[in-house]
Structure 1
Amino acid sequence: MDRPVLAYRWSQSEFVRAWEAGAFDHPVELVEGEIWPVVIGSWHGDTVGEILARLPRSGVRVTTATLPTGQSLPDPDCWVRQADADPRGTIGSRLSIWDARDVLLVVEVADETTIQDLNVKAKLYGQAGYPVYWVVTQEAIYEHTEPSSTGYRKRVEYRLGERIPVPYANTELAVDNLIAPGPG
């Protein structure tokens, strides 16, 4: 007879205490009560580097810090906030909480996590009210806009050879310049 599997859901405060105590031996993030590993391969790291190098920086801060969102503590690959924004609070001793109006763009680079990034994290970031969310894959960038209580109302796919809008900077960037060449 099969026994039901009992899943433990972490609270934000439990996760932060464990993280600050050094309980995790590898990078992790808290997403809807679950601890997810953070895996960064070569293509992923190269693509994050390309994005960080090319995002416009006038009047904004581009960061790779954890972005407390609801009761989750996701680690976007990078995100952009108003340069003059002040945190509206802290979690633990090292994590700042930001107002959604100050968060201008959230970016996840998806190598092995495409399904989670397009679904679970899109819902999480949309519910938080972040205006633009990108999921970057080896073939395309999926731009999510029009946040709502269920995620995002709109998703547009930008392929190699196209340009993606960067609304906070009133410009566009070439997708080819943001996605690193794949392995092989």
Structure 2
Amino acid sequence: MTGASIAYRWTREEFLRAWEAGAFDHRVELVEGEVWSVVIGDWHGFTTGNLLRLLTAKGFRLTTATLPTGNSLPDPDCWVLREGAEPIGTVGTKVSVWAPADVALVVEVSDETVMYDLGIKAKLYGRAGYSTYWVVTKDVLYEHTDPTPEGFRVRREYRAGEDIPIHYADTTLPVTDLLSTL
């Protein structure tokens, strides 16, 4: 007899217990109850490093830490936190929870996962109330603003030769500088 398999949905607490116990043999994140592998590679690494260098601004800190969002534990490639912000809670013993007003920018560097980053993750970060979310690809930088309970109201595309506003720093950067190449 065969039957339909039942997909298991992880809770944050179950995922954290497994993660803290070393159950995963590679880098993973929890997105809406599903455990996703984190895709990495040369282009991804160089682009993330480039973003960390270019997005530095007085009064803000950059991090690559897990960013608890609703019942998910995504690992954005980098995100910007208001300097002096204090966690509003913790998940497990190692992961801080931050107020959306203290998170100035969330960034996913996207090659193989672009559809997930533009879809599910955009909804996730928008519902959380983060003011600005970027998806950086090899050719386009997608900026999401105006968060809503359904995701983001506004999505703009920026390409090489254009400047993108860095809202928290009250400046702009050339998109060409943000689209890293090897």
Identity %: 60
The answer to whether structure 1 residue 162 and structure 2 residue 165 are counterparts is no
Q: Match of 1:153? A: 153
| Aligned-residue offset at 1:2 | 6.8
Q: What stretches of structure 1 of length at least 5 have no aligned partner?
A: none
The answer to whether structure 1 residue 8 and structure 2 residue 5 are counterparts is no
| 1:104 partner letter | A
**TM-superposition CA deviations, 1:99-125 (whole Å, max 9, x none):** 001000000000100000000000000
| 1:63 partner letter | T
Q: Match of 2:113? A: 113
| Aligned partner of residue 157 in structure 1, secondary structure | strand
The answer to whether structure 1 residue 32 and structure 2 residue 36 are counterparts is no
| Aligned partner of residue 96 in structure 1, secondary structure | strand
| Aligned partner of residue 76 in structure 1, secondary structure | coil
| Aligned-residue offset at 1:181 | 1.4
| Aligned partner of residue 22 in structure 1, secondary structure | coil
The separation in 2 between residues aligned to 1:169 and 1:5, in whole angstroms, is: 49
The separation in 1 between residues aligned to 2:129 and 2:2, in whole angstroms, is: 41
The separation in 1 between residues aligned to 2:137 and 2:159, in whole angstroms, is: 10
Under a length normalisation based on structure 1, what TM-score does the superposition of the two structures give?
0.96
The separation in 2 between residues aligned to 1:174 and 1:51, in whole angstroms, is: 12
| Aligned partner of residue 152 in structure 1, secondary structure | strand
**TM-superposition CA deviations, 1:115-143 (whole Å, max 9, x none):** 00000000000000000000000001000
Q: Match of 1:80? A: 80
| 2:129 partner letter | G
| 2:167 partner letter | P
4+ residue stretches of structure 1 with deviation over 6 A? Answer: none
Q: Match of 1:53? A: 53
**TM-superposition CA deviations, 1:137-177 (whole Å, max 9, x none):** 00010000000000000000000111111100000011111
| 1:117 partner letter | D
Under a length normalisation based on structure 2, what TM-score does the superposition of the two structures give?
0.98
| Aligned-residue offset at 1:50 | 0.8
The separation in 2 between residues aligned to 1:57 and 1:18, in whole angstroms, is: 36
| 1:33 partner letter | G
| 1:129 partner letter | G
Q: How many matched pairs?
A: 182
Q: Match of 2:41? A: 41
Tell me the C-alpha RMSD between the 2 structures. Answer: 1.1
**TM-superposition CA deviations, 1:2-43 (whole Å, max 9, x none):** 732310000000000110111111000000000000111111
